[in-house]
Amino acid sequence: MTALAPSIYEKISLNGEDIRPKVTSFQYYESLFSPIVTANLAMIDTEGVTSDLQLSGEESVSFSIRSKLGTIDFDRTPLYLNTAPVAGKDANREAVLMSLMSRYAITNEKSTISKTYSGKISDSVRKILSEDLKVPTNRINIDSTQNLSHFSGCSEDAFKVILKMCPKSIGDRTDGAPGYFLYETQRGMNFRSISKLIEQDPYPYTYTYNSTYKFDDDNDFTIKSYRQIRSQTVLNGLRSGLYSSRNIFFNPRELSTKELILRLTRNGDIEYGNKKVKLNYLGKKPRFSEEILSDDWTRTHFHVLDVGMFQNDSTKINNSAEEWQPLATTRYNIMFNKMVRINIPCNPNLTAGDVINIQIQKTSTSTRKKYDETESGKYLILNVCHSFTRDKSYTSLTIIKDTFG
């Protein structure tokens, strides 16, 4: 049995009704950009069960699907219908498509965050997830932040409040680089630092791309298709201020401004004001040319400082934008330097936020090196889709990298 073979539906139940024999395909999705997991389920109903259930939305779907390399198990944490199923009917059967979502999508829409939070941002995020979204403690994965912030929910939903804090959060690493993601996976809810995600040990097996492989080859760690969908260009980098930017901060209480220049150095670190921030990378640190890294800044950013948030000290600056705004913009830009889409045999163990190693075969035989060193290496999983049909099971990944090689 290969990982491409049809997976075993150990359980798929709709409101307690076993629908496994009717299911024709199942797609499960995760993303670093999504605070909830989602899924699509397609089935053929010849007995009118779906119509009899009179589904309208919010019905639960529990499932457990096992392939050769692992299992996706949502038996105890079911997903829910987002809307009444779409059905196409003919004389003796009904084709049904269901859009599923995490329970936290519903809980979030019912939440209204009006409280005020103080202290470490990571501690405040943990409170919101556990108290307002009712996420169990053992399904919360949070990287601690070093900076403090005083903020109010302003009657917005929980996800909006936390997502606003992602660029404002500085990890507890010594490099002081900001930038977080809020996302859900089959393991739970995550509030993770970019720096910590990069530092993870990669998945223990390396995936290899060889253009001569067929999709049905008996190799569970082969890349079946490889397509680059984005690569940072020099002009886009210059326009966004990636290499050098001028940052002007306005203090509304003192009616004063402060100017700080941010520059990337030749070895990929950041010079910002009078300090130097060392960035970690998935691959070797990039080497930029002197022409790109000139003293001239290519974009100006304006920021208003948060002054007056504290009742006991109206002069104090709250989580100063000087400490995170320009650095977060650069960190996110660098992280999406390169984006690739690959298809592999089904591996339910892979989730959004994991790091994988890939090897890309060289097209030229002029050198002894078998693999392309600029395309190969460690990548961070941005999006993941596990697909299960009656014919095969496979995983589609969108992976990102902050440098070449």
Q: What is the pLDDT of residues 303-315, one digit of tens each?
A: 999 997 766 677 8
> How far, in Å, CA of 358 to CA of 112, rounded?
43
> What value does the mean pLDDT take over residues 119-129?
97
Same domain, 247 and 269: yes
> How far, in Å, CA of 44 to CA of 89, rounded?
10
Residue 206 CB-half CA count within 13 A: 12
Same domain, 358 and 228: yes
Same domain, 114 and 61: no
> How far, in Å, CA of 62 to CA of 14, rounded?
7
* Helix (H/G/I), strand (E/B), else coil: 248: strand
The predicted model scores a pTM of 0.93
> What value does the mean pLDDT take over residues 40-52?
76
Residue 366 reports pLDDT greater than 60: no
pLDDT at 215: 63
Total domains, the chain: 4
Count of residues making up the chain: 405
> How far, in Å, CA of 48 to CA of 273, rounded?
68
**Residue 132 included in any domain:** yes
Same domain, 303 and 366: no
* Residue 40 burial (10 A CB sphere; 0-12, 13-18, 19+): middle
How many of the other CB atoms lie within 10 Å of CB of 148? 14
> What value does the mean pLDDT take over residues 55-71?
90
| Contact predicate 11/66, CB 8 Å | no
Residue 55 reports pLDDT greater than 90: no
**What is the residue-wise DSSP string for 12-37?**
EEETTEE-GGGEEEEEEEEETT-SS-
Average the pLDDT over each of 117-131, 190-204, 275-289 and give the range with the smallest value: 275-289
Residue 395 sits in a domain of what CATH number? 2.40.30
The two most distant CA atoms of the chain are separated, in Å, by 75
pLDDT at 48: 65
Please say which residue of 149, 178, 197 terminates a domain. Answer: 197
* Residue 134 burial (10 A CB sphere; 0-12, 13-18, 19+): exposed
Closest by alpha carbon to 162, among 197, 136, 137, 190? 190
Same domain, 380 and 360: yes
The pLDDT confidence band at residue 104, using thresholds 50, 70 and 90, is very high
Domain containing 395 equals 199-232+336-343+353-401
**Residue 316 included in any domain:** yes
> How far, in Å, CA of 36 to CA of 228, rounded?
26
> How far, in Å, CA of 202 to CA of 383, rounded?
16
Same domain, 241 and 279: yes
Instruction: Collect all residues with Cβ–Cβ distance below 8 Å to 246 and sequence separation of at least 6.
Output: 259, 260, 261, 297, 299, 300, 301
- The label of the residue with tokens 């109903």 reads 45
Instruction: Collect all residues with Cβ–Cβ distance below 8 Å to 91 and sequence separation of at least 6.
Output: none
Please say which residue of 78, 103, 128 terminates a domain. Answer: 103
Please say which residue of 103, 126, 143 terminates a domain. Answer: 103
Average the pLDDT over each of 111-125, 143-157, 167-181 and give the range with the smallest value: 167-181
> How far, in Å, CA of 386 to CA of 384, rounded?
7
- Beta-sheet pairing, 355-360 with 206-209: parallel
> How far, in Å, CA of 230 to CA of 251, rounded?
38
Average the pLDDT over each of 6-20, 44-58, 94-108, 256-270 and give the range with the smallest value: 44-58
| Contact predicate 143/171, CB 8 Å | yes
Same domain, 177 and 187: yes
**Residue 348 included in any domain:** no
Q: How far is CA 335 from CA 211, 232, 351, 354, in A?
A: 27, 10, 18, 14
Mean pLDDT (the chain) is 89
Same domain, 167 and 114: yes
Closest by alpha carbon to 39, among 72, 70, 76? 72
pLDDT at 237: 81
**Residue 1 included in any domain:** no
> How far, in Å, CA of 126 to CA of 137, rounded?
9
| Contact predicate 68/86, CB 8 Å | no
The pLDDT confidence band at residue 175, using thresholds 50, 70 and 90, is low
Instruction: Collect all residues with Cβ–Cβ distance below 8 Å to 217 and sequence separation of at least 6.
Output: none
Average the pLDDT over each of 37-46, 196-205, 281-290 and give the range with the smallest value: 281-290
Same domain, 378 and 313: no
Instruction: Collect all residues with Cβ–Cβ distance below 8 Å to 261 and sequence separation of at least 6.
Output: 244, 245, 246, 247, 272, 273, 297
> How far, in Å, CA of 358 to CA of 388, rounded?
23
Same domain, 358 and 225: yes
